[in-house]
C-alpha cells in the first residue's frame, strides 16, 4: 500500500492506539531489546546516547531480536473502545540500521470472552512467549483477521523519513489489531487514527456521560491554531499530565504593546482562538468543566462554548451557532465547573465550538449531559434567539 509523505488529514483524528486513550498490548512474539508497550506511548520517542541494557542498546520503541527461527514477529493491541480506523502512522524514529523493513495491520472485533483467551501479558525486555503461550494464542487464529493495511515497506528512522502514513478505507468498527513486522526489527510508535463508535442502544437514556470524550465518539474536526498542543487532547480521559497534554496556541502577534482592562475586568484585547468538535451522538448538555491544570503563566483570559445541530448530510458552514456557555473568566491551574444555571442553551446539539480569548492553553473540556434519541420522521423544534428552527431528524442521526 502507498505510504504518504506529507501529513494527511486523517492524522488530525483521535489517536486510538494510545495508552492514555485506553489501548493495551495483549501479546507480542518477542520483546528482546524493547517491549511492545512503547508503541502506545503518547510522547514521541527519544534517543539516549551510550545507554545499554543487559540485552543490548536501549531503544524507545518495540524491537525484537534478529530472527533465527521461522516466521516473523507480531503484536496484538486492544483498543480502548470499538472504533472506526481511517489511517495509521508507523514511526521508525531512531531505528536506522535496525528498523523493521515492512509491516502490515490486521483487525478484528472481539468480545471480552474472546480477549480472555490470550495468555496473561508479561512486559519484560529480553523475553518471549513460552511454547505453551504460543499454542494458546494460535487458537485465536489472529492470522485470519481482516487485513486493513497489506504488507508495506517502511523507511529508516531519520527525521525526514521516520513517519510512514497509510490511509485505511474501512467504515467497520474494530476492537483489536494485529501489527505484523516482516521479519523482525524495531519501530518506535504506532499511531492509529480514527474515532470511537459506542453502542448507543446499550446506553440507558438517564445515563450522564461526558458527551465530548474520545471514549464516547467525540472528535476534533477543526481549529484555528495548535502551535504547542493539539485540541484533540482536550477530550482525552483523565486530567492532563503536563502542558504538552492539552491544547495550547501561539501568542498572538497582533496583541497590543500595553494590555488594558475595562471596568468589568475584561481584557481590551481583540481576537481569539477556536477548536471545533463533533459529538458522538445528538445530546443535551447539563454541566461543563474547563480544566487549566499545568497552565499557570499561559492560561486564556476567558472561554466560551457554542453548539449547533446539523442534520446528516448538511453543510456545517451553514450552521447556526447558539451560545451554550457565555464568556467566563479562567484562572490558572484549576478546574472550573459550570452548572445548569450558567448554561444558556443545553441542546439538542451534535457540534460544539470552544473559543478561548485571546490565546493560551487549556488541558481538558468536559461536557456532561444526556444522549437524545429520536424516532424516524420525528421533528424537534427549538428556539435560536430570534428565530425558530425546525429540524427533521433521521432515526439515531448524528
- Between the two ends of the chain, the Cα-to-Cα distance in Å is 32
Q: Is the pLDDT of residue 324 over 60?
A: yes
Q: Which residues face 362 on adjacent strands?
A: 247
User: What is the C-alpha to C-alpha distance for residues 35 and 25, in angstroms, rounded to an integer?
Assistant: 10
Looking from the CA of 239 toward its CB, the CA atoms found within 13 Å total: 12
SS (H, E, C) 312-331: CCCCHHHCCCEEEEEEEECC
User: What is the C-alpha to C-alpha distance for residues 357 and 233, in angstroms, rounded to an integer?
Assistant: 18
Using CA atoms, how far residue 141 sits from 63, 76, 316, in Å, is 23, 12, 43
CA 241 distance to own-chain centroid: 15
* pLDDT tens-digit readout, 90-140: 999 999 999 999 999 999 999 999 999 999 999 999 999 999 999 999 999
Q: Mean per-residue pLDDT for 237-248?
A: 96
User: What is the C-alpha to C-alpha distance for residues 238 and 9, in angstroms, rounded to an integer?
Assistant: 26
249-269: burial string, b at 16+ Cβ within 10 Å, e else: beebeeeeeeeeeeeeeebeb
Main-chain dihedrals φ then ψ at residue 200, nearest 5 degrees: -70, -25
pTM (global) more than 0.85: yes
Reported confidence tier of residue 393, pLDDT bands at 50, 70, 90: very low
- What pLDDT shows up at residue 385? 30
* pLDDT tens-digit readout, 38-58: 999 999 999 999 999 999 999
Tell me which CATH code domain 9-196 carries: 2.60.120.260
CATH 2.60.120.260 placement within the chain:
9-196, 201-392
User: What is the C-alpha to C-alpha distance for residues 229 and 242, in angstroms, rounded to an integer?
Assistant: 11
Residues 6+ apart with CB under 8 A from 110: 175, 176
Reported confidence tier of residue 345, pLDDT bands at 50, 70, 90: confident
Q: Which three cell numbers stand for residue 147?
A: 487485513
CATH topology of domain 201-392: Jelly Rolls (2.60.120)
Q: Is the pLDDT of residue 293 over 70?
A: yes
Write down the residue that cell numbers 475584561 correspond to.
266
Is residue 96 a contact partner of residue 138, using CB atoms and an 8 Å limit?
A: no
Is residue 324 a contact partner of residue 345, using CB atoms and an 8 Å limit?
A: yes
Q: Mean per-residue pLDDT for 224-252?
A: 96
Amino acid at each position: 500500500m502507498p505510504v504518504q509523505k506529507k501529513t494527511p488529514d486523517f492524522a488530525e483524528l483521535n489517536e486510538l492506539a494510545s495508552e492514555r486513550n485506553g489501548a493495551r498490548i495483549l501479546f507480542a512474539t518477542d520483546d528482546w531489546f524493547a517491549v511492545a508497550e512503547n508503541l502506545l506511548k503518547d510522547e514521541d520517542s527519544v534517543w539516549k546516547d551510550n545507554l545499554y541494557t543487559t540485552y543490548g542498546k536501549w531503544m524507545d520503541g518495540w524491537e525484537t531480536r534478529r530472527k533465527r527461527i521461522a516466521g516473523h514477529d507480531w503484536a496484538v493491541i486492544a483498543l480502548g473502545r470499538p472504533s472506526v480506523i481511517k489511517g495509521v502512522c508507523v514511526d521508525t524514529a531512531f531505528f536506522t540500521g535496525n528498523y523493521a523493513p515492512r509491516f502490515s495491520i490486521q483487525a478484528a472485533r472481539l468480545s471480552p470472552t474472546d480477549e480472555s483467551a490470550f495468555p496473561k501479558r508479561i512486559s519484560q525486555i529480553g523475553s518471549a512467549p513460552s511454547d505453551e503461550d504460543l499454542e494458546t494464542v494460535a487458537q485465536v487464529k489472529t492470522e485470519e483477521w481482516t487485513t486493513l493495511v497489506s504488507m508495506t515497506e517502511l523507511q529508516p528512522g531519520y527525521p525526514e523519513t521516520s513517519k510512514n502514513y497509510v490511509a485505511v478505507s474501512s467504515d467497520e468498527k474494530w476492537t483489536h489489531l494485529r501489527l505484523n513486522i516482516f521479519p523482525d526489527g524495531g519501530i518506535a510508535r504506532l499511531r492509529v487514527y480514527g474515532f470511537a463508535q459506542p453502542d448507543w442502544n446499550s446506553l440507558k437514556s438517564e445515563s450522564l456521560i461526558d458527551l465530548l470524550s474520545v471514549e464516547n465518539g467525540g472528535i476534533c474536526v477543526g481549529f484555528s491554531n495548535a502551535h504547542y498542543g493539539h485540541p484533540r487532547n482536550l477530550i482525552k480521559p483523565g486530567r492532563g499530565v503536563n502542558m504538552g497534554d492539552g491544547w495550547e496556541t501561539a501568542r498572538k502577534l497582533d496583541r497590543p504593546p500595553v494590555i488594558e482592562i475595562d471596568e468589568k475586568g475584561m481584557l481590551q484585547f481583540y481576537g481569539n482562538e477556536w477548536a471545533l468538535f463533533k459529538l458522538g451522538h445528538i445530546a443535551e448538555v447539563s454541566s461543563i468543566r474547563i480544566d487549566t491544570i499545568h497552565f499557570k503563566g499561559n492560561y486564556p483570559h476567558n472561554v466560551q462554548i457554542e453548539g449547533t445541530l446539523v442534520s446528516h448530510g448538511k453543510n456545517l458552514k451553514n450552521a447556526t451557532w447558539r451560545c451554550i456557555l457565555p464568556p467566563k473568566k479562567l484562572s490558572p491551574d484549576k478546574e472550573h465547573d459550570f452548572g445548569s444555571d450558567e448554561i444558556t442553551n443545553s441542546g439538542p446539539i451534535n457540534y460544539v465550538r470552544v473559543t478561548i480569548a485571546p490565546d493560551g492553553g487549556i488541558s481538558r473540556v468536559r461536557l456532561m449531559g444526556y444522549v437524545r434519541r429520536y424516532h424516524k420522521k420525528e421533528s424537534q423544534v427549538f428556539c435560536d434567539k430570534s428565530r425558530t428552527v425546525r429540524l427533521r431528524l433521521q432515526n439515531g442521526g448524528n
